[in-house]
Amino acid sequence: MNISFEGKVALVTGAAMGMGLATAKAFAGAGAAVVLADTNEEALRDAVDTLKAAGHRRALRCCERDRCGRNGRKKVSTFGRLDAAYNNAGTSRRRPRTRPMRAARTSNG
C-alpha cells in the first residue's frame, strides 16, 4: 500500500484468513493500528500472532460469535479513533468446478 496509515486505526472483519487477513496485513504494513474481527477464534488468534511476530504490535483481535459488533466497538475504542473499516466478513465456497469421474463399470464387476 502506498498510502501511509501512520497513527490511524483500521477495523477489518473476516480478518482471520484470505482477503481480510491480506488487508489487515496491508493496513498494519502501512502503519495503522488494526482491529481484526472474525468468528473463527483459533484462526484469528494465529492471524494476530503472525502480525505481531512481523513486528506489528498494535494489532488486536475481536472474536465472540454474535457479539462482534459490541466487542468491535470496545476494541476500537482502545485505540481512541476509527479511520478506516473494511467489512469483508463472509465466506468463499471453494469447491472444485468438476466432479471426479467414476470408474466405468465392467461386465465382470
Ligand X SMILES: NC(=O)c1ccc[n+]([C@@H]2O[C@H](COP(=O)([O-])OP(=O)(O)OC[C@H]3O[C@@H](n4cnc5c(N)ncnc54)[C@H](O)[C@@H]3O)[C@@H](O)[C@H]2O)c1
Contacting positions for ligand X (CB under 6 A) = 13-14, 16-20, 37-40, 43, 68, 88-92
State whether residue 73 is helix, strand or coil. helix
What is the smallest separation between the CB atom of 20 and ligand X, expressed in angstroms?
Answer: 5
User: Please, what sign has the CA dihedral across residues 61, 41, 67, 90?
Assistant: positive
Nearer CB in complex with ligand X: 39/71: 39
Q: Please report, for the chain, how many H helices and E strands are present, in that order.
A: 3, 4
Q: How far is the CB of 12 from ligand X (least distance, A)?
A: 10
Supply the minimum distance, in Å, between the C-beta of residue 46 and ligand X.
11
- Min dist CB 104 to ligand X, Å, is 35
Minimum CB distance to ligand X smaller for 65 or for 105? 65
DSSP label at residue 25? H
93: helix, coil or strand?
coil
- Which residue lies nearer to ligand X by CB, 7 or 64? 64
Query: How distant is the alpha carbon of residue 42 from its chain centre?
Result: 12
